[in-house]
Structure 1
Amino acid sequence: MLELKNITKKFGDQTVLGGVDVTIADQKTLAIVGPSGAGKTTLLRIIAGLTPADSGEMIWNGEPTTAAKMRQAGLIGVVFQGFELFPNLTVRRNLTLAPTLQGTSAAAATAQADQLLAELDLTAQADAYPFSLSGGQKQRVAIARALALKPKILLYDEPTSALDPNLRQSVADLINSVKAQGMTQVVVTHDMDFAQAVADETLTVAKLGGGEA
């Protein structure tokens, strides 16, 4: 279980997050919702260790920690809003690059990638490049790439925003299938219907004074 206590963040003189408390339960999906500018993505980036909080603390399984330590330990995976796939690499290589850089053998990384691609119905796209994929396929590759690092918590930033509305249910099904395999997940979304389709718990952040969404 990951707990965040009294997390605050300002951009200039604008308070975006003011003393936010978050509990992320094991093997559950937490949706973070709220209006544009309320700090949803800022909070996600703080959890991911991509944006520093001004104050507050993080506790992982009862022990004080930091987002940077969790990232270094490979506990956190992130699926970015724009997918951020490497355009010059095949789908399979997008999945194997980080594990091999971290010391996994090429053979083991490839075997794991092929298993993930099969689970996400992407085997036929293994040797394709991102430009040739549909939005839904890019989303699945991004999730597979995050899963390849075997994180304990998987974070999603607006996972349906770059997709056609008719793909919303397929993304919800995918997130729920990942949860069924025991993954703890945090989903930032502005879509309340989508949040209800995937979340065990919902955290609503209020807009305090502008700043980054």
Structure 2
Amino acid sequence: MLTLKGITKTFNDRAILNQVDLTIKDHETLAIVGPSGAGKTTLLRIISGLTKPDAGTFIWNDQPVTPVKLRQDGIIGVVFQNFELFPNLSVLRNITLAPTLQGTPEDEAKAAAMELLAQLDLADQADAYPFSLSGGQKQRVAIARALALKPEILLYDEPTSALDPSLRDSVADLVNQFKRAGMTQVIVTHDMDFAQAVADTTFKVEKVQ
């Protein structure tokens, strides 16, 4: 379980988050919702260690921790809103890059990546490059890349925003598949129908007055 206490963040003298308390329970899917500009993505970036809060503490399984350490230790994985795939690398290499840089033997990383691609119905795209993929395929590659590090918590930033509405249900199916497998997931979304389809609990971020 990951607990956030008193998370505060200000940009250009404007308070984005003010004393936010949040608990991310094991094996549950949490949706972070709220109006545009309320700080949903900022909160997700703080949880992932990509943005440093001005104040606040983090407790992981009853021990003080920093989000940067959680990400470095592979506890947290992130699926970015715009996928952020490396355009010069194949799908397979996009997935195996981080594990091999962390010391996983290349043949082992490739085998694990191909297993992920098969699970996500992308095995035939292993040698393709991102430019040739549809939005839905890029989304699944981004998910596979995050899963390759075997995180305990998977974070998604607006996972349906870059997709056609027809693909929203397929993303919901994936999220629910991972939930059934016991994955802890945190999803920032403006799409309340999607949130209701996948979330066990919802946390609403309000604009700071």
The CA RMSD measured in Å over matched residues stands at 0.7
Spell out structure 1 runs of 4+ moving beyond 2 A. none
C-alpha distance in structure 2 between counterparts of 1:160 and 1:196, whole Å: 14
Partner Cα separation in structure 2 for residue 70 and residue 204 of structure 1: 24
Q: Name the amino acid aligned to 2:192.
A: M
Q: Which amino acid aligns with 2:116?
A: L
Which sections of structure 1, spanning at least 5 residues, go unmatched? Answer: none
Alignment of 1:186-197 (within 5 A): 186-197=186-197
SS of residue paired to 1:174: helix
The corresponding residue for 1:15 is 15
Whole-angstrom CA distance in 2 between matches of 1:176 and 1:54 = 34
| Whole-angstrom CA distance in 2 between matches of 1:118 and 1:73 | 26
Residue number in structure 1 paired with 2:139? 139
Matched residue type, 1:115: E
2:88 alignment counterpart: 88
Count of aligned residue pairs for this structure pair: 209
- What is the CA distance between 1:178 and its match in structure 2? 1.2
Tell me which residue corresponds to 1:3. 3
The 2-side partners of 1:8 and 1:103 are apart by 36
SS in 2 for 1:171: helix
- Distance in 2 between the 1:152 and 1:130 partners? 26
CA deviations 1:47-98 (Å, max 9, x no partner) are: 0000000001000001111111111211110000000011111111111111
Aligned to 1:71: 71
Hey, what's the Cα distance between the residues in 1 that align with 2:68 and 2:85?
22
Query: In structure 2, what is the equivalent of residue 107 of structure 1?
Result: 107
Q: Quick one: percent identity of the two aligned structures?
A: 73
Distance 1:95 1:13 in 2: 39
In the aligned structure 1, how far is the partner of 2:56 from the partner of 2:84?
29
For residue 166 of structure 1, report the CA deviation from its aligned partner: 1.0
TM-score, normalised with respect to structure 2: 0.99
**Alignment map for 1:156-195 (pairs within 5 Å):** 156-195=156-195
Question: TM-score normalized by structure 1?
Answer: 0.97
Q: Cα deviation per residue 1:21-47 (whole Å; 9 max; x = unaligned)?
A: 110000110000000000000000000
Distance in structure 2 (CA, Å) of the matches to 1:55 and 1:171: 34
Per the alignment, residue 198 of structure 1 pairs with: 198
Amino acid at match of 1:60: W
Instruction: Mark the runs of 5 or more structure 2 residues left unpaired by the alignment.
Output: none
CA distance in 2, matches of 1:179, 1:149: 17
